[in-house]
Amino acid sequence: MKFIVTSSALLKHLQNINGVITTNPVVPILENFLFEIEKGKLTITASDLQTSMITEMDVEAKESGSIAVPAKILLDTLKNLPEQPVTFSIDEETYSIEISSDNGRYKLSGENATDFPRVPVVSDGYAVDMSTEVLTHAISNTIFATSNDELRPAMTGVYLNIDEDKTIFVATDGHRLIKYSRNDITADAKNAIIIPRKALNLLKNVLPSDSSEVSVEYNLSNAFFRFTNVRMICRLIDERYPDYENVIPKDNTNTMSIPRMDFLSSLKRIAIYANRTTNQVRLKITGSELHISAEDLDFSNEANERLSCEHDGEDIVIGFNARFLIEMLSNMECKEVVMKLSEPNRAGLLLPKEMEDGEDLLMLVMPVMLNSYT
């Protein structure tokens, strides 16, 4: 089997799907790309058993065939080649691969393609379409709040509640919760799925920046994403998601409105002086002023700043983990944020003051207990 392809084009396709491949996988053949050629089209698959990514490109080939090609050595070779046509000559009996370029020849050993695990297909499933821009936005708004705790697998992914009038994306790690809604993503039937964080990260990295369509199919066990020349299929997390609606406080008598970048910049400066273990900052809202302070008694470090804000409600002092607040504010795009509070021991809500029609974003963060409320 022989085919000719441009080195840079092949490299781009491989880099799009290479993130799936893990070091020391359970099945050694998964350190390879699966190459399949049929009618002048090269289909490349990468998999870690849980997630598979597939990309297609046109090549110059007269024969059909398949081979598993070592991913790392192939990528390293292509990265260091100038753009030029390269010829792959494959011996399907010995699985040896020879790559010929203007610079020279490179020989490597492949593996039998039949040993590569079969990619599952979604059957008896549901479908929903959305734009790449909307999906990228939804992933960016939620994925940072997923948990790393493998003992609570449901929280290691993003929960999608797909309805006939809207879709809700939810992520939580127990300390904070993000709820992002879109009423321009609808389906014929109501369903809920949990997509693993790794799959969404891979998706986010390869989604095109234009507003092309993403076709999403899903059933009880897998979700299948298709856009441009890339396909991704991932195993869903089969767990019950926490009842997140009950965590969101309803009676928030304290409301503060403040420019997002002013709040974010101040927190970044004050956090430098916070205790490195707790990252605790104190927010004291009195009248139309927000006082932000932090101290680290172990090193006699302390800092405080004062910002102007719009405030409706009684004076309040509350503590938060600065890292959580910084991450949440960094992932917002609005000019002004609204913070809704009730009691120093109850969760606070961060909301954009203005949002585009059809979307809604709520960020919840749990407080940390202060030694005193002075």
Q: pLDDT tens digit string along 199-225?
A: 999 999 999 888 789 999 999 899 999
Query: Which CATH architecture best describes the domain 248-365?
Result: Roll (3.10)
Distances (CA, A) of 264 to 136, 173, 259, 348: 23, 21, 9, 16
- Band (pLDDT 50/70/90 cuts) for residue 374 is very low
Helical (H) or strand (E) element with 237: none
In this predicted structure, what is the pLDDT of residue 124?
Answer: 79
Pick the more confident residue, 322 or 374. Answer: 322
Instruction: Confirm whether 126-245 and 248-365 share one CATH topology.
Output: yes
Q: Flag whether pLDDT at 186 surpasses 90.
A: no
Q: What percent of the chain has pLDDT over 90?
A: 86
The answer for residues whose C-beta is within 8 angstroms of residue 94's C-beta and 6 or more apart is none
In this predicted structure, what is the pLDDT of residue 373?
Answer: 39
**What is d(CA 190, CA 232) in angstroms, rounded to the nearest whole number?**
23
In this predicted structure, what is the pLDDT of residue 355?
Answer: 82
**What is d(CA 7, CA 33) in angstroms, rounded to the nearest whole number?**
16
Residue with tokens 């509350």: 318
Residue 369: which of 286, 296, 280, 291 has the closest Cα? 280
Q: Flag whether pLDDT at 296 surpasses 60.
A: yes
CB 274 within 8 A of CB 268: no
Domain map (residue ranges) of the chain? 2-115, 126-245, 248-365
Q: pLDDT tens digit string along 303-345?
A: 999 999 999 999 999 999 999 999 999 999 999 999 999 999 9
Average pLDDT over the chain, rounded to an integer: 94
Q: Flag whether pLDDT at 372 surpasses 90.
A: no
Whether domain 126-245 has CATH 3.10.450.350: the reply is no
Q: Flag whether pLDDT at 299 surpasses 50.
A: yes
In this predicted structure, what is the pLDDT of residue 361?
Answer: 96
SS3 362: strand
Q: Flag whether pLDDT at 238 surpasses 80.
A: yes
SS3 330: helix
**What is d(CA 89, CA 37) in angstroms, rounded to the nearest whole number?**
13
What are 34's strand-pairing partners? 45, 68
Query: Which CATH architecture best describes the domain 2-115?
Result: Roll (3.10)
**What is d(CA 228, CA 85) in angstroms, rounded to the nearest whole number?**
24
Q: pLDDT tens digit string along 29-68?
A: 999 999 999 999 999 999 999 999 999 999 999 999 999 9
Section 187-194 average pLDDT:
91
Q: What percent of the chain has pLDDT over 70?
A: 99
Residue with tokens 């059933």: 219
Helical (H) or strand (E) element with 206: helix 197-206
In this predicted structure, what is the pLDDT of residue 356?
Answer: 80
Section 81-109 average pLDDT:
95
